[in-house]
Amino acid sequence: MKVAVVGATGLVGSKMLQVLAERNFPVTELIPVASEKSVGKEVTFKGKTYKVVTADTAISMQPNVALFSAGGSTSLEWAPKFAAAGITVVDNSSAWRMDPTKKLVVPEINGKTLTAEDKIIANPNCSTIQMVLVLNPLHELYKINRVVVSTYQSVTGTGVKAVNQLMNERKGVSGDMAYAYPIDLNVIPQIDVFLENGYTKEEMKMVNETKKIMGDDRIRVTATTVRIPVIGGHSESVNIEFEKDFDINEVRKALEKTPGVIVVDEPSKQQYPMPKDAHDKDEVFVGRIRRDETQPNTLNMWIVADNLRKGAATNAVQIAEYLHAQKMI
């Protein structure tokens, strides 16, 4: 199977290569794609080196599937060209997520909606993926009315420049700034640009994508997304109001049985999910599970995942795995 990775030299693209290798996706030929300035550079995959090529060249090489992680403008320009050549695209940018003609997929939740005709498939936002994986089994049991989420997001979600900014500040070295403010010893309550309603684009992604993935427009979501000086992954404080009352032990059992979710919740032993423990893992970790005592049918929890893996690269590879297993690519 020929696999193209568009944006192969970036943070998420590099992680895609790592995940493809670790999960033994049946790659017979890798086609790394990047911008003109990276063409000719070499990428190593499973002990072999491959030269970076342009998107045009990649299309002419006819890969079975193309994993995109090169930003929204690149996806808008090139995904339709790959699709027109019969190549299935799994796109990690926000370009196609809310397009009503495109599926927005977390395989454990709605992978079964995919067909061979879906040539451009959207990978959701990192903070949305980890939240809906936990919400979905509870929605099936108790029906969610409303979700209030505050995020604590890793600088890796911004990219290499942000990681370098954090490390430079930690060393007292001046350098390029990914953010308008220092991030070390600081918290920035803005991710992406502000919209007219006072929310950021990242916050509205969580609102809209949750409804689309879970197939229920009645779920009300309100979000505050925050950047913190952490590298391992994203964390979320989530408050969930259900239609029906719940049993806390039943909640735990439902989450323990959910593929891709690990419950870490032993307050007496000070055990709860932390980004340093989620780093480089594919699972979503959940803990601090407790009843909200201020109103009925409401639950609090804490959700953590590596945003570059399940939040991006792993979810994209899992979509490709599903397509391959169903003989759609």
Q: Which of 126, 139, 279, 324 is flagged as catalytic? A: 126
Closest-CA residue to 303 (of 280, 278, 267, 323): 278
Tell me, yes or no, if 139 is annotated catalytic.
no
For residue 231, the one-letter residue type is: I
Tokens of 163: 């990681």
Q: C-alpha distances in angstroms, 109 versus 104, 129, 147?
A: 10, 10, 18
What would the two tokens of residue 54 be?
Answer: 């342009």
d(CA 168, CA 226): 21
Say how far apart CA 177 and CA 18 lie, in whole Å. Answer: 28
Q: Is 163 exposed, middle or buried (0-12, 13-18, 19+ CB in 10 A)?
A: middle
Contact 248, 240 (CB under 8 A): no
Q: Which amino acid is at 21?
A: A
**How far apart are alpha carbons 140 and 131 in whole angstroms?**
15
The answer to whether 279 is a known catalytic residue is no
Residue 25: strand, helix, or coil: coil
* Catalytic residue, candidates 139, 234, 279, 324: 234
Q: CA–CA separation, 230 vs 166, rounded Å? A: 9
Ramachandran quadrant class, 159 (left: phi over 0; alpha: psi -120 to 50; beta: rest) = left
Q: Would you name the residues annotated as active-site residues?
A: 126, 234
